[in-house]
Structure 1
């Protein structure tokens, strides 16, 4: 298949019949599409009209500087790695606040909504032949839409990068301390988290972030996912190794009280419930579960860059990449939450690895798991950096061809900024909470929906058609999630002085 055929197919199969007749489809408004992402609509139309002429042998790469060489499997690895975030460590805690049945229902709903959101993005990209989130915003709402989309992507992914480096900052010194058999942190430079994140950023993250193509990170993404699979297997294994009640945490004299006929005191009931799985429960902490699960499936800034680099790109093929990735992460999330919850029940903490450390700080398996999680989050940072760099280039250097110097400088500046943020801001959870509560619903629900409503021509789908009504409801749902998340965070500030914090 020629490069021209791949470019045409990626631009939207629904326009093929128009091209064969030599006519321009209504969905292509050449007066509004700009050249800012290197896409010339008139040139594209001319090329697609002449596609079947034998003398056509070469053409500039359309849409981006990339050539669409990434395989289906590597694309799945990259998108799965983009979905997989540090939030997996808090899913067991989320299940303890909802019960097993309610958690499974919410997880299924969020996964399906995320897949539908990606469908809307791909449909928009297919209609106008654009595979950049920012350019979809420009097509829908002009320069203002482009700026808003770019800023939201930048804020969200900087928050995600910072959360990953925070894990490195606080977990890596503990891993080194345990490997060296030290009881306390000696204060040496190699035990300083601030120094360690700089070393990790320079030696591991920066070289990967300097790759020209996101597709090349498929190998590191695959290794990152392997580390998380090891984490999952360890969680499942530990379920059968750790007894409940936990030693030193619950009183064993309360065991079996639910079999007796007498009325238990409130303290006895509480102790007894710690080792009973809740099927369905609703309490004040339950409200935080929906934002946590929504954030856990945010991968939308990476969808269009991965689509751009996909070999033989079509909407159907990219949707299959998204579906496989979401299904894989759904299974991992579900198993991690169930086995983690059934290990600790009501004792599970918001960060599950910390709960394991409370049981046995010297457990070598948990030590290896902590190291695997560190590797996984470290290798995820470059994947998250690519969409930020693309957004910056779209906003500051529109229409510029790829240039290595600019490519490298943006990556260095981004990593420097995130490192400074992690080092000098002692309590960044409040910032993460606000950014997460606004950016995640925007990227999953609001922006794809309103882009779809604005971009898909009314002649093809009227405003009152079922697809556009569904998109409108989807956007409204995003606003509800945003208001809920912000309300919970503000209420948490008022009542406890702490932020609930949202994260990827």
Structure 2
């Protein structure tokens, strides 16, 4: 076997230029890639898993065990495919500048403001719902630990607790990088772990069997209940608003590593959902409620579980502020495509200057949240925090608003936008696709010279099939949007996700 040296001018050194060229991108852009693979997974999993986990047993009671498991797995696969397409799309952009806005500039420039507005509204609404959950649960948590809490009015006042927890999340909301939230995300995941253990423990103990209702294995509860529960499962995987931040900040942004982040995150969430859904449903049968924790006999353990939900949503709030701020900034900076043709329509300018560069060129600016000036960053964040606090203090239920926002915003960023973006940007006639394909071919030739037989080249038929599947995902997203909006309009009932 031949040994390769690093002596300048040697054939080994010449044949490894492709590897050095790719690795040099990371060395030149370390400022944009400091997050580890594990921390990226932690933040993405925390973005995915939320209080909706508690509604999984109820959703399964409407669908039956077999159909419920299928829907959970299917929804996870479609969500993972959307994340995968986002990682593919990011290859057409400068390292550290991937975003829905940057992609829209080379695909659907005049619709960029609509895309970012939808993302901002969706993230803002979810953030407000988290604050409302805190206000609703904390009085019960206090009563659980102290039966005489009602004697002190402010301890059972929802507005008091919303204010207290806002003081905790405000500093976290002003962090620029998503990776900075990895430790709070770990705490949130510990809270989810406790909830899962609680549900499994009661199932194994069997202390709920006396009040258990009928169990459906293959049968379902009917079309209408199933349609009402379907959006709960579909939207339980929404994390796509933070995927580009993950791609911008991860240290090793190779295709294998970023795909691994998507698969590991969605797989972890699906495992939690299936475990809670099955054990929770088998514990209570068709008598299960939308919030399974509320079904257990009041005790210290169930009170801690409610406190765990509060911790979970508290540390999930900054994960909604992060993409909301970036999208609001993009909306404020947006101009029609013809407003500044000289700079906006050039294919060789970077996303920070309104059009993206392909990989290989040195990026001139870091991720989007890092390009915002200090003053602008502070103002936008302050406005988001103040408005969400005001909404949480004055509105006690956002169920209807969230149902419509989720049907449109979550569907758009999870399915429609990733599908449409990849379908447009990967078209054979696209200049961006041609340039990226040429660079990939050059790198593959270099790899063949260096490591003959060890490269994993994609089959020629892979990209055309992937492009067709991306269009199918966008169409699927449109179908889900119509289905969910129709369900909200014509089959309105008690929300399955209410906690």
Mark yes or no: TM-score above 0.5. yes
> Which structure 1 residue ranges, 5 or more long, are not aligned?
1-16, 21-47, 251-273
Change (3 A) 1:275 1:290: closer
Match of 1:223 in 2: 187
Residue 277 of structure 1 and its aligned partner are, at CA, apart by 4.5
Unaligned runs of 5+ residues in structure 2 are 1-14, 335-351, 353-369, 435-460
Deviations 1:81-117 (A, max 9, x none): 0001221110000000011110111111111111111
What corresponds to 1:366 in structure 2?
302
Q: What's the counterpart of residue 165 of structure 1? A: 131
> How does 1:416-455 map onto structure 2 within 5 Å?
416-455=386-425
Residue number in structure 2 paired with 1:393: 329
1:213 aligns with 2:213: no
Task: Specify whether residues 377 and 58 from structure 1 end up closer, same or farther in structure 2 by C-alpha distance, changes over 3 A only.
Answer: closer
Q: How far apart, in 2, do the equivalents of 1:306 and 1:112 lie?
A: 19
1:128 pairs with 2:93: yes
CA drift of 1:467 comes to: 2.2
Find the counterpart in structure 2 of residue 287 from structure 1.
227
**How has the CA–CA distance of structure 1 residues 186 and 432 changed in structure 2, closer, same or farther, with 3 Å as cutoff?**
farther
Counterpart of 2:258 (choices 318, 321, 332) is: 318
Show the counterpart of 2:477: 478
Instruction: Tell me if 1:101 matches 2:37.
Output: no
Question: Is the contact between residue 89 and residue 353 of structure 1 (CA under 8 Å) also seen in structure 2?
Answer: yes
Which residue, 146, 153, 165 being the options, matches 1:180?
146
8 Å CA contact 1:236–1:339 kept in 2: the answer is yes
Give the match for residue 8 of structure 2.
Answer: none
String of CA shifts for 1:419-454, please: whole Å, max 9, x gaps. 111222244211111111111111111111111111
Rounded Cα–Cα distance in structure 2 between residues aligned with 1:94 and 1:422: 27
**Structure 1 residues 230 and 177, CA gap change in structure 2 (3 angstroms):** same
1:436-483 CA-to-partner distances (Å, cap 9, x unmatched) read 111111111111111111111324699x93222212221111111111
TM superposition shift of 1:340: 0.8
* 8 Å CA contact retained: 2:26, 2:33: no
Q: Count residues in correspondence.
A: 416
Inter-CA distance 190–71: structure 2 relative to 1 (3 Å threshold):
same
Matched, 1:487 2:486: yes
- Residues 1:416 and 1:238: Cα distance change in structure 2 (over 3 Å): same
Verify the 8 A CA contact 1:489 1:499 in the aligned structure 2: no
2:39 to 43, 55, 74: 74
| 1:83 matched to 2:48 | yes
Asked if the contact 1:432–1:501 (Cα under 8 Å) also holds between the matched residues in 2, the reply is: no
Residue 163 of structure 1 and its aligned partner are, at CA, apart by: 1.8
In 2, the alpha carbon distance for the partners of 1:77 and 1:151 equals 27
Q: 1:411 aligns with which of 369, 372, 381?
A: 381
Q: Distance in 1 between matches of 2:68 and 2:402?
A: 24
Q: Kindly indicate whether the alpha-carbon contact (under 8 Å) linking 1:163 and 1:503 is maintained by their aligned counterparts in 2.
A: no
Is the alpha carbon distance of 1:188 and 1:502 closer, same or farther for their aligned partners in structure 2, counting shifts above 3 Å? closer
2:236 is matched with: 296
Shift of 1:366: 0.6
- Match for residue 158 of structure 2? 193
Q: CA deviation at 1:187?
A: 6.5
Alignment pair present for 1:458 and 2:428: yes
State how far apart, in whole Å, the 1-side matches of 2:27 and 2:319 are: 31
Q: Do the aligned partners of 1:206 and 1:411 also contact (CA within 8 Å) in 2?
A: no
Shift of 1:401: 3.2
1:441 and 1:482 in contact (8 A); partners too: yes
- The residue aligned with 1:345 is 285
Contact 2:55 2:497 (C-alpha < 8 Å) held by counterparts: no
Deviations 1:293-342 (A, max 9, x none): 11000000100001111012223211111111111111111111111111
2:314 is aligned, of 373, 378, 385, to 378
Bigger mean CA deviation after superposition, 102-111 or 310-319 = 310-319
Q: Once superposed, what is the RMSD of the aligned Cα atoms?
A: 2.9
Give the equivalent residue in structure 1 for 2:7: none
- The answer on whether the counterparts of 1:489 and 1:501 sit within 8 Å (CA) in structure 2 is no
